[in-house]
Amino acid sequence: MTRRDPYGVQLNPGSQPADSVNPLEGFAATTRRATVWSLASELGAKIFVPATQLVLARILAPDAFGVFATIVMVSSFAELLSGAGFQKYIVQHEFATKRDLYRAANVAFWSSMVIALALVLVVALCRDTIATLVGSPGLGIPLAVASLSLPLSVLVSSQQALFRRAFEYKKLFPVRITVAAVPLVVAVPLAMLGWSYWALVIATLAAALVNAVCLTVLSPWKPRWSFSRRVLRDMWGYSAWSLLESIAVWATLWSGTFIVANVLTAHELGLYRQPILVVNSAFAIVTSATTPVLFAALARLQTDRDRFRGFFFPFQLRVAVVLFPIGILAFFYRDALTAVLFGPDWSAAALMFGTWALSTSFVIVFAHYSSEIFRALGRPRVSFLAQCIYMAVMIPALYWGARGGFDTLAVVAAVVRIVYIAINQTLTKVVAGFGFLRATENLHAPLVAAIAMGAVAAWTAALAEGSLVGSAMGILACAVVYFLVCLCFPTTRGLLLRAVRALTTTRRAG
């Protein structure tokens, strides 16, 4: 078997040395270490993200978050265009030498920088028109200022791709924590001074600047003035579909914001967007830590389908064991959690918070990781197809829901995601050879445990009637039920007992 350096580059093609270790065991150990460090960095970072949002929710009105949502919608679209999908190419592609890898990183950097600067110019010149188009007339200047984050993001995009390719998440840990803390340090004081949505804009720029400086210093690769049209053609052949897929993902994520901004009020837009942001940030502790590792690992295993599946199914099971109970508890205890997280002014957002959390827990397990399967197998166009089919159903459904009022929108936004799961499971069956039945068989234990816990949660939440003490006791009872049911199944019993032993060992060592 070909040996590779940490960046996945061939060292000495040929036969595997006789005294080498089992390659699957070595690879599994590498990905486990990467996952641990990625999870640690995301856990630390995501503590700051919801903490910042929850503090600001008590300082700023929902209207300010509604305004900022439209700004982020535009800037995030421009950011994915400037990235052009080149970073995924760097992670997924097989390179013969490190020189070839660095050449590709240079091409990605300069191509993305040119696109980013062009987009900044376009946003600056057309700022008022764009602001009106997204339902926020008069916000042209904040849009133009927010677009300055694009070249800052490009400065570190290639470095991030190289670190992820090499599974070097340990080096990213201090940077991730530092960058995540910046908005809390910057936005909260500015919000207290009455800067409204400008506090959020300036904090976003400050975080992008700190990230650019830290990763540029840390990375062994630095951009050089070199360019290859041949490499650009090769990268574009892969990245064009990846870019289209990213645009489709963006449209899926932000179409609801666009519809609400044009149908409902800025206040309701804040009630819609802020619960989504907090829920996504909480679940991203898991997804942001696991998705890059999963993609990099599956990309390395793409030619061996047995090892490919052997890595994916245990990975999917571990994530499901964590996410299913979180989604169910968030739904049944939505009123109490909304009161604690957002404050009394956000009670109308409880239904949005609960339904989005419940649906997200299942979307991540049954649909989100399907996209990583398609990309790892070099089939990003399949993920693009999935997004397009879903949007054809989702956009009319969200428009109909918004016309029916905010509560109707909250329910429709969650229910329509069942279609997204069905689409991805069908395409996974076609592309990878396994679909919903195999996934259900793999996840039967946490599914049964989640159903049992859901029944208990419905009962205990009704008894609590919004009381914080009663809700806390009910959540604890639900957690015990979930744990006990999981112990009845060999697959989840092994996972839980290993986790308990690991925690016990860590505590003794401490």
Residue 6's pLDDT is 44
pLDDT band, very low/low/confident/very high, at 23 (cuts 50, 70, 90): very low
Q: Is the pLDDT of residue 165 over 80?
A: no
pLDDT band, very low/low/confident/very high, at 48 (cuts 50, 70, 90): low
Of 238, 304, 288, 229, the closest CA to residue 91 belongs to 238
Q: Collapse the DSSP code of 226 into the 3-class scheme (helix H, G, I; strand E, B; otherwise coil) and give the result.
A: coil
Residue 122's pLDDT is 84
Q: Is the pLDDT of residue 301 over 50?
A: yes
Residue 411's pLDDT is 93
Residue 168's pLDDT is 62
Residue 21's pLDDT is 37
Total number of residues shown for the chain:
510
Q: Which DSSP letter does residue 10 get?
A: B
- Tell me which of 319-333, 422-436, 493-507 is least confident: 493-507
Q: Which residue in this structure is represented by tokens 């149908």?
A: 263
pLDDT band, very low/low/confident/very high, at 58 (cuts 50, 70, 90): low
402 CB neighbour count, 10 Å cutoff: 22
Cβ 241 vs Cβ 384: under 8 Å: yes
Q: Which amino acid, 182? A: V
Q: Is the pLDDT of residue 82 over 90?
A: no
- Tell me which of 153-157, 306-310, 371-375, 427-431 is least confident: 153-157
DSSP 204-248: HHHHHHHHHHHHHHH-S----S---HHHHHHHHHHHHHHHHHHHH
pLDDT band, very low/low/confident/very high, at 14 (cuts 50, 70, 90): very low
Q: Tell me the pLDDT tens digit for each residue of 173-231.
A: 777 777 777 777 787 788 788 777 787 788 888 888 888 787 777 777 777 777 777 77
Instruction: To the nearest 10°, report the CA torsion of 22, 24, 25, 26.
Output: 80
Report the distance separating Cα 165 and Cα 101, nearest Å.
Answer: 11
**Mean pLDDT value across residues 476-504:** 84
Task: Map 331-371 to HEC letters.
Answer: HHCHHHHHHHHHCHHHHHHHHHHHHHHHHHHHHHHHHHHHH
Q: Tell me the pLDDT tens digit for each residue of 304-350.
A: 778 888 888 888 898 899 899 999 999 999 988 888 887 777 888 89
Q: Is the pLDDT of residue 18 over 70?
A: no
* Cross-strand pairs, 4: 10
Residue 410's pLDDT is 92
Q: Is the pLDDT of residue 9 over 60?
A: no
What value does the mean pLDDT of the chain take?
77
Q: Is the pLDDT of residue 255 over 60?
A: yes
pLDDT band, very low/low/confident/very high, at 20 (cuts 50, 70, 90): very low
